[in-house]
Amino acid sequence: MASLSLDEKLRLLHGATDPDDSSVGYVPPIPRVGIPALRMVDGPMGVRAVGGSATAFPASVALAATWNPRLAREQGASMAREARAHGQNVLLAPGTNVVRVPHCGRNFEYYSEDPHLSARFAAASVRGIQSEDVVATVKHYVANNQETNRYRVSAAVSERALREIYLPAFRAAVEEADVGAVMTAYNRVNGTHMSDHRPLLRDVLKDEFGFDGFVMSDWWGTESSVGAARAGLDVEMPGVTFEERATAERLPEDVDPADVEFPETLPDMHEGGLFGEPLRDAIESGAVDESVVDGKVRRVLETMARFGLLGADSDGGRRGGELDTPRHRQLARRIAVEGTVLLKNEGALPLDEAAAVALVGPNADAAKLGGGGSSEVTPVARTSPVDGLRERAAECRFERGVPRITESSLFDAFGAGDGGESTADADDADDDASLDAALEAAAEADCAVVVVQDDTTESEDRDDLRLPGRQDELVSAVADAADRTVVVLRTGGPVQLPWVDEVDAVLETWYAGQAEGEALAAVLYGDADPGGRLPLTFGRRADDYPTAAPERFPGANDEVDYSEGVFVGYRYFDREDIAPLFPFGHGRSYASFEYGESSVERDGDEVTVTVPVRNVGNRPGKEVVQVYVRDEDPPVPRPPRELKGFETVRLDPGERRRASVTLDRDAFAYYDQDEGWVVSEGRFTLLVGRSAREIRDRVSVALG
């Protein structure tokens, strides 16, 4: 620090163009004092290597559907090894915003509508990433819950809702996993842009939570020099103008930048470098003290030192790593299997080995790697549902049925998508889309498997919750023609299922990544139990959700009203007594489980619930024991139940195990703006069950 000039300090506080064009974010080196470049790469579903490939893991919502945080840690470590193989130091993951709006185009990148489940996965992912000496970046801080108007919209949200719903995952990443970096959101919170939000950046994140890493802006998400510097933003990314970055790295060589019309869905065109010359001017004028800059530089350097980057060679400390290894491929497959949720099964699954299968679906011949945006990954290998079923089925006929669904990409704006299956040949593919042929195949087969999907992308929210194109029509027609119909959903979140009563089974596979075909076949044929449970609620219609009112989504006059408060997701369904189509935590198994009588023990401020679980079926299976808390006499309005713990057990036929879940005092607390976290005196009911609506037992405990 003592040897750095002001120019050199400022160089460490904003990005620049990577001379190798290999990084999404790049902070230039200062070789004379042994400070290497700091290179950043996108996640959270794999490494989005510029011009390279990596393992394409299932979407974050699929990972959360496993209800197995150990898998999040393993995936985090795997992605970090691949980031190192690409010469990167910082992974821009995990994304852990709460799923508030079912229409949000980026829900697939997040974990859950529940803060506790999100927190468990955020902390585990950060631990995994940083176990391989790569800096994790938890994002997008905070209340970034929609893509519509994301650069200007202000979340009008209460302190209590922030504390109970939107901050817990970030708090866990800091307090439990010691995350190295935090990325601010584009949106405003209660009128102030997050890059300029001193109460949330300095007072809460740094002072209260004890975050000692560095805070970076989202790309072109820095709104000021003086305000952001004083508020607690440490690094402006990417530090160059939007036009400079876009034209330098995304346009084909034969395209004149002057001819490009940038879409309105992309960020406002800031001048860039707000932490460069403008910040220097602010220091020289006395608007910002140089000690503020010193504090930011120290955070950057201490984080680099913590991860062994200081004194490394000038190319950024590139070292080791693994890329597309067998263990990474196997992990991607395992997550895809365990994240598959069996929503409905009326005897159709698992499939018989000798059954003739009709595989129908507009995009079933392509792996569904993810949604559009900065999380797009280009894998070395991939398997589609067609690939997977043809490998297993005695007989499998594929028919598209209806025209292919276009898959959007944020990078389509530049004429070059990044990572997803190309849709350039969609018109040619539509030539073989015959509904009559699909119905003929379904009628002749023993079982029809219909693969349908949505289309979601960063920068846009969905207009409604219906499946795009003619897919609903396709499902109903096939169900009418086939003896048995199994529907496979490939979605980034909840969708409407108007045909659900017409089909025999429904699987939710989310965006299953590069191993989709293998994983789907393994579940369909019963090689593996569908291990997933819903991390969010499936309503029957869009009006079921708390954001159905236009002032709550998409908002008006650049403001969105969070007046539902803490009643998000299943909490809202419970309060309003709305019957969901499939509740939070729901998921069937090929096994059957019997719960015994629960017991509860208290040790100081800790309460442990223990319940015996037996597999009474004839197949091995996975059960997720969920514990919800209800305050029986709350002094403030509280949800009828809140998830506060869970445990996964795997049981062979006839096997019995005791599942134990320990709750600390925080599990019973609510937030009071004047008093902070409060545990009311009185009785609490602990609800033990398979989902938020399938409660198997209740026990009572008193706290004071």
User: Using CA atoms, how far apart are residues 479 and 447, in angstroms rounded to an integer?
Assistant: 10
Q: Where are the alpha helices (DSSP H) in 373-433?
A: 385-392, 426-430
What is the rounded end-to-end Cα distance, in angstroms, of the chain? 50
The phi and psi torsions of 41 (rounded to 5 degrees) equal: -135, 150
Q: Mark which of 496, 514, 535 sits at the end of a domain.
A: 535
Q: CA triplet 16, 21, 22: central angle to 5 degrees?
A: 105
Do 602 and 512 reside in the same domain of the chain?
Answer: no
Instruction: Tell me if 433 sits within 8 A of 400, measured CB to CB.
Output: yes
In a domain, 556, yes or no: no
Query: In the prediction, which pLDDT does 334 show?
Result: 98
Instruction: Tell me if 417 sits within 8 A of 96, measured CB to CB.
Output: no
Do 183 and 81 reside in the same domain of the chain?
Answer: yes
Residues 6 or more apart whose Cβ sits within 8 Å of residue 204: 167
Q: Which two tokens stand for residue 131?
A: 């176990």
Query: In the prediction, which pLDDT does 575 show?
Result: 98
Instruction: Tell me if 613 sits within 8 A of 596, measured CB to CB.
Output: yes
Beta strands in 194-353 (DSSP E): 214-216, 341-345
Residue 695's H or E segment, with its range, is strand 695-703
Instruction: Tell me if 230 sits within 8 A of 195, measured CB to CB.
Output: no
Q: What integer is the mean pLDDT of 103-112?
A: 98
By C-alpha distance, which of 56, 162, 67 is closest to 111? 67
By C-alpha distance, which of 511, 377, 417, 372 is closest to 55? 377
* Whether residue 248 has pLDDT greater than 70: no
User: Using CA atoms, how far apart are residues 437 and 443, in angstroms rounded to an integer?
Assistant: 10
Instruction: Tell me if 514 sits within 8 A of 607, measured CB to CB.
Output: no
Residue 660's H or E segment, with its range, is strand 656-663
* Whether residue 16 has pLDDT greater than 60: yes
A 10 A CB-CB count for 432 gives 13
Residue 443's H or E segment, with its range, is helix 435-444
Do 13 and 77 reside in the same domain of the chain?
Answer: yes
Decide: helix, strand or coil at residue 447.
strand
| 434-450: pLDDT as tens digits | 999 999 999 999 999 99
Average pLDDT over the chain, rounded to an integer: 93
Provide the pLDDT confidence category of residue 242 given band limits of 50, 70 and 90: low
Query: In the prediction, which pLDDT does 245 show?
Result: 62
Q: C-alpha distances in angstroms, 161 versus 110, 455, 486, 665?
A: 18, 30, 40, 19
Q: Is the link from the previous residue into 403 a cis peptide, with omega within 30 of 0?
A: no
Threshold 0.85, pTM exceeds: yes
Decide: helix, strand or coil at residue 595.
strand
| 573-606: pLDDT as tens digits | 999 999 999 999 999 999 999 999 999 999 988 9
Instruction: Tell me if 546 sits within 8 A of 98, measured CB to CB.
Output: no
Q: CA triplet 621, 623, 626: central angle to 5 degrees?
A: 175
| Pairing status of strand 599-603 against strand 606-615 | antiparallel
The sign of the torsion formed by the CA atoms of 21, 24, 25, 29 equals: negative
Q: Where are the alpha helices (DSSP H) in 255-399?
A: 277-285, 290-306, 326-338, 385-392
Q: What integer is the mean pLDDT of 118-135?
A: 98
8-state DSSP, 162: I
Do 69 and 199 reside in the same domain of the chain?
Answer: yes
Do 370 and 448 reside in the same domain of the chain?
Answer: yes
Residue 25's H or E segment, with its range, is strand 25-27
By C-alpha distance, which of 58, 157, 175, 72 is closest to 118? 72
Do 301 and 373 reside in the same domain of the chain?
Answer: no
Q: Mark which of 488, 517, 535 sits at the end of a domain.
A: 535
Residues 6 or more apart whose Cβ sits within 8 Å of residue 573: 537, 539, 544, 579, 580, 583
| 541-579: pLDDT as tens digits | 999 999 999 999 999 999 999 999 999 999 999 999 999
Domain count of the fold of the chain = 3
Q: C-alpha distances in angstroms, 279 versus 217, 293, 317, 343?
A: 15, 9, 29, 54
Residues 6 or more apart whose Cβ sits within 8 Å of residue 511: 45, 58, 59, 61, 62, 108, 368, 369, 370, 371, 490, 491, 492
Segments forming the whole domain that contains residue 76: 6-251+263-306
A 10 A CB-CB count for 7 gives 10
Do 331 and 301 reside in the same domain of the chain?
Answer: no
Query: In the prediction, which pLDDT does 219 show?
Result: 94
In a domain, 557, yes or no: no
Query: In the prediction, which pLDDT does 241 show?
Result: 76
Do 289 and 353 reside in the same domain of the chain?
Answer: no
| 181-226: pLDDT as tens digits | 999 999 999 999 999 999 999 999 999 999 999 999 999 999 999 9
Query: In the prediction, which pLDDT does 262 show?
Result: 55
In a domain, 146, yes or no: yes
What region does 317 belong to: left with phi over 0, alpha with psi -120 to 50, or beta? left
In a domain, 453, yes or no: yes
| 326-336: pLDDT as tens digits | 999 999 999 99
In a domain, 406, yes or no: yes
By C-alpha distance, which of 18, 268, 240 is closest to 152? 268
In a domain, 371, yes or no: yes
The phi and psi torsions of 84 (rounded to 5 degrees) equal: -65, -40
Instruction: Tell me if 120 sits within 8 A of 94, measured CB to CB.
Output: no
Decide: helix, strand or coil at residue 568.
coil
User: Using CA atoms, how far apart are residues 451 and 200, in angstroms rounded to an integer?
Assistant: 43
CATH code (residue 621): 2.60.40.10
Provide the pLDDT confidence category of residue 420 given band limits of 50, 70 and 90: very low
The phi and psi torsions of 199 (rounded to 5 degrees) equal: -60, -40
Residues β-bridged to residue 676:
672
| 150-190: pLDDT as tens digits | 999 999 999 999 999 999 999 999 999 999 999 999 999 99
218 in active site: yes
* Whether residue 619 has pLDDT greater than 90: yes
Instruction: Tell me if 373 sits within 8 A of 410, measured CB to CB.
Output: yes
- The residue annotated as part of the active site, out of 114, 196, 218, 461, is 218
Residues 6 or more apart whose Cβ sits within 8 Å of residue 480: 502
| 476-503: pLDDT as tens digits | 999 999 999 999 999 999 999 999 999 9
Q: Which two tokens stand for residue 198?
A: 């001193």
Do 232 and 359 reside in the same domain of the chain?
Answer: no
A 10 A CB-CB count for 390 gives 17
By C-alpha distance, which of 623, 703, 624 is closest to 663? 703
Sequence letter at residue 143: A
Sequence letter at residue 561: D
Query: In the prediction, which pLDDT does 605 show?
Result: 87
Do 437 and 500 reside in the same domain of the chain?
Answer: yes
Do 301 and 349 reside in the same domain of the chain?
Answer: no
- Token pair 């940083």 is found at 130
In a domain, 672, yes or no: yes
More confident residue, 245 or 680: 680
Provide the pLDDT confidence category of residue 316 given band limits of 50, 70 and 90: very low
Do 83 and 193 reside in the same domain of the chain?
Answer: yes
Provide the pLDDT confidence category of residue 418 given band limits of 50, 70 and 90: very low
CATH code (residue 246): 3.20.20.300
CA-atom Rg of the chain in angstroms: 25
Provide the pLDDT confidence category of residue 311 given band limits of 50, 70 and 90: confident
Q: Is the link from the previous residue into 142 a cis peptide, with omega within 30 of 0?
A: yes
- Alpha carbon dihedral 398, 401, 403, 406, in 10-degree steps, equals -60
In a domain, 402, yes or no: yes
Query: In the prediction, which pLDDT does 249 show?
Result: 54
CATH code (residue 335): 3.40.50.1700
Query: In the prediction, which pLDDT does 425 show?
Result: 44
Indicate the burial class of 404 (C-beta count within 10 angstroms; 0-12, 13-18, 19 or more): buried
User: Using CA atoms, how far apart are residues 341 and 527, in angstroms rounded to an integer?
Assistant: 15
Beta strands in 530-653 (DSSP E): 559-561, 593-595, 599-603, 606-615, 621-631, 642-651
Residues 6 or more apart whose Cβ sits within 8 Å of residue 623: 589, 591, 593, 613, 615, 648, 649, 650, 651, 659, 690
